[in-house]
């Protein structure tokens, strides 16, 4: 990973879904580049990551919350705002992820609801909770993490949720611009990552479920012009660029980070 020392010096950042994966990588990079960071996740693992950052010399706070509920998002933002000295400069909304992988006709209504609850509402709620703080300062940047899977097989409810994240990005950018607030997003493609320490959902249990998941993998590689998955560092680099002052004239944009797959 290439760092840009001091890029986030003096900045206060809140990163959700920061216990592992892309969110953890973003938190580590921002901390290494000078930001004070509040890491939010519903997994207790987030406190281990925050402690490790503090032991490395960063200013970091771990916060546990269920962002699928507005009460959880409001409590998390309130705690982060207090911990960061009454200021939030950057919000990275990274919570979400496919729970099941199968053709739409095989989803139950409860599963459809759960997918949307997981991958749309944390961004919707956390933006709402943080916006008054950003408006009060007439400054700030929100980076949402969407997905190119808005055009993908075997994930219709997840695609719908991430399409909603794209809608939040464009519509909120329009409303927030008069206050000096930027709202942007990345749309990651397939990303290699270590095995998750906290699973998103049940693993495939039979040959049919494994075949449905393999269809996602095959499509991901096929649609990438570079014919590979990305890395966590490649995803974090794009998020950190959009969050930084280098991207000060970019708002309402969704940047695909998927090897040429535009989603």
Count of C-beta atoms within a 10 Å radius of residue 82: 11
Cα–Cα distance measured from residue 102 to residue 259, given in angstroms and rounded to the nearest whole number = 24
Query: Active-site residue 229, yes or no?
Result: no
Q: 61, 107, 158, 179: which one is catalytic?
A: 158
Cα–Cα distance measured from residue 84 to residue 13, given in angstroms and rounded to the nearest whole number = 8
Residues marked active site are found at 158
């Amino acid at each position: 990973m290439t760092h840009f020392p001091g890029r986030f010096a003096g900045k206060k950042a809140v990163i959700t879904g920061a216990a592992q994966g892309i969110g953890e990588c973003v938190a580590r990079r921002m901390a290494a580049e000078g930001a004070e960071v509040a890491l939010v996740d519903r997994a207790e693992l987030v406190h281990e990551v925050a402690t490790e950052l503090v032991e490395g010399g960063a200013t970091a706070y771990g916060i546990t919350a269920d962002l699928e509920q507005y009460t959880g998002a409001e409590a998390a933002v309130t705690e982060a705002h207090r911990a960061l000295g009454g200021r939030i400069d950057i919000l990275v909304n990274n919570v979400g992820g496919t729970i099941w992988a199968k053709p739409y006709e095989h989803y139950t209504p409860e599963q459809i609801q759960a997918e949307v609850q997981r991958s749309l509402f944390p961004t919707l709620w956390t933006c709402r909770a943080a916006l008054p703080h950003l408006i009060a300062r007439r400054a700030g940047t929100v980076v949402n993490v969407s997905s190119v899977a808005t055009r993908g097989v075997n994930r219709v409810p997840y695609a719908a949720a991430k399409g909603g994240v794209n809608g939040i990005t464009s519509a909120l950018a329009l409303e927030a611009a008069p206050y000096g607030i930027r709202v942007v997003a990345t749309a990651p493609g397939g990303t290699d990552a270590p095995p998750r320490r906290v699973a998103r959902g049940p693993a495939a249990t039979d040959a049919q479920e494994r075949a449905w998941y393999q269809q996602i993998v095959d499509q991901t590689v096929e649609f990438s012009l570079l014919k590979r998955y990305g890395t966590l560092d490649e995803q974090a680099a794009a998020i950190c660029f959009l969050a930084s002052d280098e991207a000060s004239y970019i708002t309402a944009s969704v940047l695909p980070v998927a090897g040429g797959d535009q989603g």
